[in-house]
Structures are given as structure tokens and as C-alpha cells.
């Protein structure tokens, strides 16, 4: 019974449906502001999510799930924590569980997409492709229900016959899911086809758990009052809106919808505050514009490439500047406090410090490893040696740099080998009180940007040319900083030594 306390209830609710490229954080928060009870994120594929690292973003006050290429795959915040449902695309029970465990403490529930008919979802047996494999459906849902503490739901489309649809949802109910969302169309049907409310009603009558009706945006739901009409027509417990909410999320307002212009400005405020990807911001705004997207205003919006340029189109430049200044001030304060608390820990011959390498904190083509290399040359020491370990469970890396017979390591694990080596270099430089090349740091003269064209290489003095030849005759700058590196995998098979 303890497991049930505080769980999200799906009965008598209105929900923002999962929509690819639409259901990101700004849209979810906007829907909640306007009256939605529950918001679903866009479908996120399990393979991509399983590679993500959970990162607390103190500047934005969010929790980010960051891919190895540094893309934020899923971003959430405390404002939606008790009402956001994480939807995943999966065809593998064990991989689904890995992802669910990764996010379960930051979301209210986990949903499995079994209804999307688009190729990006059905490839690999995901989305509506699962509807033809009820055994796999049962395996995925049972594994999730038994493996995590949060409610598990699924979203399906109806099958060609009413009998098959009812039989499927009865099997789904037995897995222990908390609710079933039903899009009242078959996987071959599109929005131009009428929604089959009779199928949804039959499903609702055949199970004891809440059924969420979906698919009424074209035929039924035009206003807030229509939400109840759709719920009644489908005989469902709750209603989930997709396109109607995408066009104007204020449809959730009991007092009536706002103008699209006002809604777009509200959306932009969240997009800037939470540093939303500008192309995602623009996409969502264009969906709200609908047939006006080809107007002069729409074309100006479409030409914008950054959130700042989007704000210019809407006359919100002052808001943008104020918000960015607030975020920069918070970042500076956190960095100052972080520098005060990052004290090195000594253990035998190893010095550790909890630091991360943030690429955005350094100028292009300048890194801590370059600073450490140049310092070692200046002091006539052997070049730094990096030893890197990789954890098998999450593929994270941790490096130790050895220089002047001392070892330095960050206590934190990084998403890539290069970042782990940079973090180790930072620990060494900070311990020794040396510059590391951060933006805003007083110029030290240790490292200067150098172009690699033939004229400048020819102009190098003989001693520097000789030093370069020990590495290679023409070394790109990012390779020049690569010192002797050794990599091994911890809790797994040892990897080979690399240079």
C-alpha cells in the first residue's frame, strides 16, 4: 500500500497528449498553466535515452537528461514533477526498464507508446507495430509495473475489429497498468478519418482502470466545453488532447481560450527562461500560426535562427535581455560558490576534486589540456599521461592525469573520454594554482591560438619545430593536446592502450 501513496491518478483528468517536437518543457508548462491536469512529454526512444546522463542544471533549475553528443533529450523541472508523464518508444522490456529507472524519480508516471503509426516510431517494432505482438506488450508492461515505483500506462490505437480491441485492452489491464489511453483510429487512419468513439466506449466498459480518450481534435473538440462532450461521447474517464492543444494550448482554460498572439508570447517566455532549442521553439510557434505561417509575420518568424531573433520578431527583446542577464548572474554566482567549495582531497599519491569540464566555459580551440601541456613544457617536465576508466553500466568515463610523479583526478564521471581527460587536467591546474583558459580568466600567455597554415608553420623557430616533429609533422590543434592516454573498462573487459 505504501507504493500507492502519492501516485498520479488518471481518472477525471484532462491531459496534453504526447506529440513529437511539441511536448517539450515550454509547451508542457504552458498547458499546466492553462488548466491541464497531466502533461505527456514527446515520445523518446529507449536506445537514445539509455545513453543519457542525468544532470542537475542549477542555472536553469532543471533536471536534464543529456546524450553523449551533449543534446538535452529530456528536460524537466519541479513545477511539473507531480504531473508529467514520460512517454518512451520501446520494443524491449529490459531496455525499457533501464530508461524507466533512469527517469522515475523525476516524473509522475511512465507511458509506453503503442499507437504512433509513423515510421520513426514503428521501426524496430515500436509504436503501433506493437499492436500485432500482444506477448511483447505484456512483457514490456509487466516488466515496468514490477520494476519501478511510479504508475505505468500505455497509449494504443484501436484494432480493425471491436472484439480484437477489447481483447487486447483486457490483456493490457492484467499487467497492472494504471490507465490506458486510446486513440480512436486504426493505425492506417489519419486525422481526416472520423474518430471511432464507439470503440473507445467499448474499451472503457470492458476494463476497470481509467481510459483516456484521444483523437477528437478534428471532429469534436474546438472549445473547452467540447472536452466534456468528447469524454461523454467516448464514455471515457478522461480526455487527452493533441492537435487542438498544439494549435492553442489555452483550450484547457475553463474561462475560455486566449488569443493565439497572447499564447505565443506566454510560450516564448518559457522557451527563453528554460533555454529551449530555438528550432523547437520556432516549430511550436509555427504550429500555432497555422495558415498564417506564410504571412509576412510568419516568414519573419521562420527566418529567425535563435531565441533572441524570435523575441525580436515578437517585440520581446527587453524580456529576452532581462532573462538572459538573470541566468548569467545565477551562473556566475554558482561558479563563484563552486570555486570556493571545490577543495582538493589527498589520498596517498592521488589528488581528487569534484569538477566537470564545461565546453561553453572555454574559448574555441582552447582547453585545460592544452594549458597543462604548455606548462609541462615550460617547466621541462615529461608530458602528461592520461589513464581513463569506463564504467560498463552507463558508459561513463573517469580519467587520471599523471604529471611530475603526481596523480590528479576528478571525483565526477563524464559522458565522454575527452571530457574526462579535460576534467582531470582542470583538477591538476587548479591544485597547482595555474590558469586553465576559462573565458574571462586573465590572459596568462601560456597558450596562444595558432592557425595551421603552411606559412605560419614555416615561421616557427627551430626549437618549436623540432618539438612538433616529435608528435607529427602537421598536427591539428585538437590533436596536439592529446597526450599519452591509456583506457580501460571497469567492471568489464580491459581495453587496449591507446595514444
Mind listing the domains of the chain with CATH numbers?
7-257 (3.20.20.70), 259-341 (no CATH), 345-490 (3.30.160.20)
Q: What is the pLDDT of residues 237-289, one digit of tens each?
A: 999 999 999 999 999 999 999 999 999 999 999 999 999 999 999 999 999 99
Q: What is the pLDDT of residues 437-474, one digit of tens each?
A: 888 776 656 665 443 333 343 443 444 344 334 433 33
What pLDDT is stored for residue 393 in this prediction?
62
Instruction: Give mean pLDDT, residues 195-223.
Output: 96
373: pLDDT strictly greater than 50: yes
Q: What is the pLDDT of residues 23-41, one digit of tens each?
A: 999 999 999 999 999 999 9
Strands in 62-66's sheet, in edge-to-edge order, are 53-57, 62-66, 72-76
pLDDT classification of 78: cutoffs 50, 70, 90: very high
What pLDDT is stored for residue 488 in this prediction?
52
What pLDDT is stored for residue 447 in this prediction?
64
Sign of torsion over alpha carbons 50, 56, 57, 62: positive
| Residue 220 Cα distances to 202, 232, 289, 411, angstroms | 19, 11, 21, 56
Average pLDDT, the chain: 87
For residue 235, count CB atoms less than 10 angstroms from its CB and return exposed for 0-12, middle for 13-18, buried for 19 or more. middle
Instruction: Give mean pLDDT, residues 478-489.
Output: 48
What pLDDT is stored for residue 46 in this prediction?
96
User: Which of 95, 101, 186 shows the shortest CA–CA distance to 136?
Assistant: 95
300: pLDDT strictly greater than 80: yes
Catalytic choice (116, 284, 311, 428)? 116
What pLDDT is stored for residue 348 in this prediction?
76
What pLDDT is stored for residue 240 in this prediction?
98
What pLDDT is stored for residue 359 in this prediction?
87
What pLDDT is stored for residue 485 in this prediction?
63
Instruction: Give mean pLDDT, residues 154-163.
Output: 97
Q: What is the pLDDT of residues 396-439, one digit of tens each?
A: 899 999 999 999 999 888 889 999 999 999 999 999 999 998 88
What pLDDT is stored for residue 493 in this prediction?
32
Lowest mean pLDDT among 58-67, 159-168, 372-381, 471-480: 471-480
* Cβ atoms of 307 and 278 closer than 8 Å: yes
Task: Calculate what percentage of the chain has a pLDDT beyond 70.
Answer: 85
209: pLDDT strictly greater than 90: yes
pLDDT classification of 324: cutoffs 50, 70, 90: very high
Q: What is the pLDDT of residues 98-137, one digit of tens each?
A: 999 999 999 999 999 998 888 878 878 999 999 999 999 9
What pLDDT is stored for residue 130 in this prediction?
96
pTM listed for this prediction: 0.72
What pLDDT is stored for residue 123 in this prediction?
79
Is 116 part of the annotated catalytic residue set? yes
For residue 496, count CB atoms less than 10 angstroms from its CB and return exposed for 0-12, middle for 13-18, buried for 19 or more. exposed
User: Which of 205, 232, 210 shows the shortest CA–CA distance to 221?
Assistant: 232
Amino acid at each position: 500500500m505504501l507504493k500507492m501513496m502519492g501516485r498520479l491518478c488518471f481518472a477525471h483528468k484532462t491531459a496534453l497528449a504526447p506529440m513529437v517536437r511539441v511536448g517539450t518543457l515550454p509547451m508542457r508548462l504552458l498547458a499546466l498553466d492553462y488548466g491541464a491536469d497531466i502533461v505527456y512529454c514527446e515520445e523518446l526512444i529507449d536506445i537514445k535515452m539509455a545513453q543519457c546522463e542525468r544532470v542537475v542544471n542549477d542555472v536553469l533549475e532543471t533536471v536534464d537528461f543529456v546524450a553523449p553528443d551533449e543534446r538535452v533529450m529530456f528536460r524537466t523541472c519541479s513545477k511539473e514533477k507531480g504531473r508529467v508523464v514520460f512517454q518512451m518508444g520501446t520494443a524491449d522490456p529490459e531496455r525499457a526498464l533501464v530508461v524507466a529507472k533512469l527517469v522515475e524519480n523525476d516524473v509522475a508516471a511512465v507511458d509506453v507508446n503503442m499507437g504512433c503509426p509513423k515510421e520513426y516510431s514503428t521501426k524496430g517494432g515500436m509504436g503501433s507495430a506493437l499492436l500485432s505482438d500482444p506477448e511483447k506488450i505484456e512483457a514490456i508492461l509487466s516488466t515496468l509495473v514490477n520494476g519501478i515505483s511510479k504508475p505505468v500506462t500505455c497509449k494504443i490505437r484501436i484494432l480493425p475489429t471491436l472484439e480484437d480491441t477489447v481483447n487486447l485492452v483486457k490483456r493490457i489491464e492484467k499487467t497492472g497498468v494504471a490507465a490506458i489511453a486510446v486513440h480512436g483510429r486504426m493505425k492506417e487512419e489519419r486525422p481526416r478519418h472520423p474518430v471511432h468513439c464507439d470503440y473507445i466506449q467499448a474499451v472503457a466498459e470492458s476494463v476497470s482502470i481509467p481510459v483516456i480518450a484521444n483523437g477528437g481534435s478534428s471532429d469534436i473538440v474546438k472549445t473547452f466545453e467540447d472536452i466534456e462532450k468528447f469524454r461523454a461521447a467516448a464514455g471515457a474517464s478522461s480526455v487527452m488532447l493533441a492537435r487542438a492543444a498544439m494549435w492553442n494550448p489555452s483550450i484547457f482554460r475553463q474561462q475560455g481560450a486566449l488569443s493565439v498572439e497572447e499564447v505565443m508570447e506566454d510560450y516564448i517566455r518559457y522557451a527563453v527562461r528554460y533555454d529551449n532549442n530555438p528550432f523547437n521553439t520556432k516549430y511550436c510557434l509555427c504550429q500555432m500560426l497555422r495558415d498564417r505561417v506564410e504571412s509576412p509575420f510568419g516568414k519573419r518568424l521562420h527566418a529567425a535562427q535563435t531565441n533572441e531573433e524570435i523575441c525580436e520578431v515578437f517585440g520581446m527583446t527587453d524580456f529576452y535581455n532581462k532573462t538572459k542577464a538573470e541566468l548569467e548572474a545565477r551562473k556566475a554566482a554558482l561558479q563563484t560558490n563552486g570555486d570556493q567549495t571545490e577543495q582538493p582531497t589527498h589520498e596517498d599519491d592521488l589528488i581528487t576534486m569534484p569538477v566537470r569540464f564545461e565546453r561553453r566555459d572555454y574559448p574555441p580551440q582552447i582547453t585545460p589540456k592544452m594549458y597543462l601541456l604548455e606548462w609541462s613544457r615550460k617547466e621541462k617536465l615529461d608530458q602528461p599521461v592520461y589513464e581513463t576508466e569506463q564504467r560498463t553500466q552507463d558508459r561513463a568515463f573517469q580519467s587520471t592525469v599523471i604529471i611530475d610523479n603526481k596523480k590528479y583526478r576528478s571525483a565526477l564521471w563524464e559522458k565522454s573520454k575527452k571530457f574526462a581527460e579535460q576534467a582531470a587536467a582542470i583538477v591538476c591546474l587548479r591544485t597547482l594554482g595555474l590558469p586553465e583558459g576559462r573565458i574571462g580568466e586573465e590572459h596568462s600567455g601560456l597558450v596562444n591560438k595558432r592557425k595551421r597554415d603552411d606559412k605560419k608553420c614555416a615561421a616557427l623557430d627551430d626549437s618549436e619545430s623540432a618539438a612538433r616533429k616529435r608528435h607529427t609533422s602537421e598536427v591539428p590543434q585538437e590533436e596536439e593536446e592529446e597526450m599519452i592516454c591509456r583506457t580501460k573498462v571497469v567492471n568489464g573487459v580491459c581495453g587496449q592502450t591507446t595514444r
